[in-house]
A and B are shown apart, each in its own frame.
Chain A
């Protein structure tokens, strides 16, 4: 046992502070979500306002309304806030020059992660929900994102043409229709106006099987704007039996680490009463159970 005694001890002072006309006006205004600076004798604006500038000159008492936004002049990221810090999650201390002023305010930025902090970044003021006429009526500042939404919305009429119409009508009946130039003999799904290798019209329609070879695939693991499915999911290129180009569809019904090139796959159709003129009639392709095919048999389609 130590010879020296030890005990916890708390020091508190119940001080109050008088604020005066400059600091007092600024702090009182915060209650009403009004941000003001004070003009110096040489025409600069200080926020937070001070009674004297750094040259010891009294400020003028003329107040200027300010937009509650500014620029970060320096900052420090605190990953693990200390007791007494105004946040209990990671945040930044910052010197913030309020727009239209010539000095900087010490405050905080709620940026979520250090990577978002940068000297020169733009920030906007966030007011505290409950106000009591102190500097903490400003809850913090938050980054102004340099991105704004820019959506495009235009309404069109789709007319898929004769060949694609034939393909979509086929899907409505649960059939996959391809187009063929009788001379060259190659079959394309969906059918096109011409065989791209001969330039001849694909004058003949053929029904092809809903089973084929997975020639290549990718597993999507990242989210993106407009995504319909929840990652991870697999998207693959399938060359249907008797055709000469791949179609693209989801690969499912199999663990992702078992998906492989050369795997035989078969269409999984929606129930017949839900069929429309859409490839969405096929939910996805799944393993057919047949043995894999050798690489050489599909390499020209990659």
Chain B
């Protein structure tokens, strides 16, 4: 396997609404900044890959319009996944394994403010058995949270404590959307949206965009002093039907973490993509992240959740801490699908 590293990361602050920006207007600032940080231009990039979903703006092929935010003439090697940008990062990593190119640009954008997001996400469900019922994403996650309570694995107070910790961490993150000292007792007084989930147990819906530059081998060493080397990278998926799964565990996150080598060394920091509070508890257990690991120093998705971008931001936040020399070994994670169906895990190291 080739050594591939994250060498730069750029994001727009996650906010409730970035009103004055269409796709190219969201993408251009982060892609140009990520390249500029390491002295590259689009002409130096071997492969470009993006992640987004057309159902957020409601415009078919909106991802094509986003390419206008790049310099795409003469024609570039380009690809897109209808998933979080972290999965585009995975494709770019695989592409760099071919060995014929040394750099890749990955980006994603999500304007959650345009769409009825919980209802859009019903389109992820089985079109025969579930979609016609109108199972929104919050209610689906609520079935998982209730199963955790029934199994004795967590309480509502545990959910609130996860939220309080993440949003407190986010105080130091200028890019986070919801941050501050949140009272656990006050959160437990909020009405249920879909029981046992209250508003604070769900991530906010944010607008943002993010970009990452990948480089392989010596190219990475030339661009930055301390690349964030991807030492392991794995993507696993569980059955689609909720009724076929034990929702209180995540075998796919467990396996992906094992294959990525999370347990092979001390983890200093982990950026987990948990759009609902209870999912962080499931992920920590599945990935074997004990109390010594700093989880989501950025505040995680509970502090800022731009759909299709929040996962890529986890990779960027983890990589930045390695690039800066603050930590030696970081774990980055992204989920997609209903109730943690897909899990993507990477281990990033400084040396």
**Residue in B55, B139, B244 whose beta carbon sits within 8 Å of that of A78 in the complex:** B139
CB pair B129 A106 closer than 8 Å? yes
Total residues of chain A contacting the partner, CB 8 A: 41
* CB-CB nearest in chain B for A87: B134
In the complex, which residues 1-55 of chain A have their Cβ closer than 8 Å to any Cβ of chain B?
Answer: 2-4, 9, 11, 17, 19, 23, 27, 46, 48, 50, 53-54
Nearest-neighbour CB distance to chain B for A137, whole angstroms, equals 10
- The answer, yes or no, to whether B1 is at the interface (CB within 8 Å) is no
CB pair A105 B128 closer than 8 Å? no
Residues of B within 8 A of A63 (CB): none
| Given A77-B192, A104-B243: A82 touches B128 (CB 8 Å cut-off) | no
CB pair A54 B239 closer than 8 Å? yes
Total residues of chain B contacting the partner, CB 8 A: 41
- The answer, yes or no, to whether B196 is at the interface (CB within 8 Å) is yes
CB pair B150 A119 closer than 8 Å? yes
Nearest-neighbour CB distance to chain A for B85, whole angstroms, equals 23
CB pair A82 B242 closer than 8 Å? no
Residues of A within 8 A of B193 (CB): 78
CB pair A108 B133 closer than 8 Å? yes
CB pair A135 B129 closer than 8 Å? yes
- The answer, yes or no, to whether A169 is at the interface (CB within 8 Å) is no
Nearest-neighbour CB distance to chain B for A48, whole angstroms, equals 5
| Given A78-B194, A93-B194: A23 touches B135 (CB 8 Å cut-off) | no
CB pair B134 A75 closer than 8 Å? no
Q: Mark B115-136, 1 if CB is under 8 A from A, else 0.
A: 0101100100101111011111
- The answer, yes or no, to whether B92 is at the interface (CB within 8 Å) is no
Residues of A within 8 A of B197 (CB): 76
* CB-CB nearest in chain B for A81: B134
CB pair A114 B133 closer than 8 Å? no
CB pair A86 B133 closer than 8 Å? yes
Q: Mark B193-215, 1 if CB is under 8 A from A, else 0.
A: 11111000000000000000000
Which of A53, A106, A134, A136 has its CB near the most chain B CB atoms (within 10 A)? A106
Residues of A within 8 A of B76 (CB): none
CB pair A106 B130 closer than 8 Å? yes
| Given A23-B128, A95-B242, A105-B243: A4 touches B133 (CB 8 Å cut-off) | no
CB pair A114 B136 closer than 8 Å? no
CB pair B119 A4 closer than 8 Å? no
Which of B55, B142, B144, B247 has its CB near the most chain A CB atoms (within 10 A)? B142
Nearest-neighbour CB distance to chain A for B12, whole angstroms, equals 16
Residues of B within 8 A of A27 (CB): 128
Which of B20, B119, B132, B136 has its CB near the most chain A CB atoms (within 10 A)? B136
- The answer, yes or no, to whether B58 is at the interface (CB within 8 Å) is yes
In the complex, which residues 1-24 of chain B have their Cβ closer than 8 Å to any Cβ of chain A?
Answer: 19-20
* CB-CB nearest in chain A for B115: A11
**Residue in B122, B129, B135, B147 whose beta carbon sits within 8 Å of that of A74 in the complex:** B147
- The answer, yes or no, to whether A84 is at the interface (CB within 8 Å) is yes
**Residue in A2, A50, A136 whose beta carbon sits within 8 Å of that of B133 in the complex:** A136
CB pair A94 B133 closer than 8 Å? no
Q: Mark B244-284, 1 if CB is under 8 A from A, else 0.
A: 11010000000000000000000000000000000000000
B-side interface residues toward A, CB under 8 Å?
A: 19-20, 55, 58, 116, 118-119, 122, 125, 127-130, 132-136, 139-140, 142-147, 150, 191-197, 239, 241-245, 247
15 CB-based A-B contacts, threshold 8 Å: A4-B19, A48-B241, A53-B244, A74-B144, A74-B247, A76-B143, A77-B192, A77-B195, A84-B136, A93-B135, A97-B243, A106-B130, A106-B243, A119-B147, A135-B130
- Extra contacts besides A53-B244, A106-B242 (7): CB < 8 Å: A2-B19, A4-B19, A17-B128, A27-B128, A76-B195, A106-B130, A108-B133
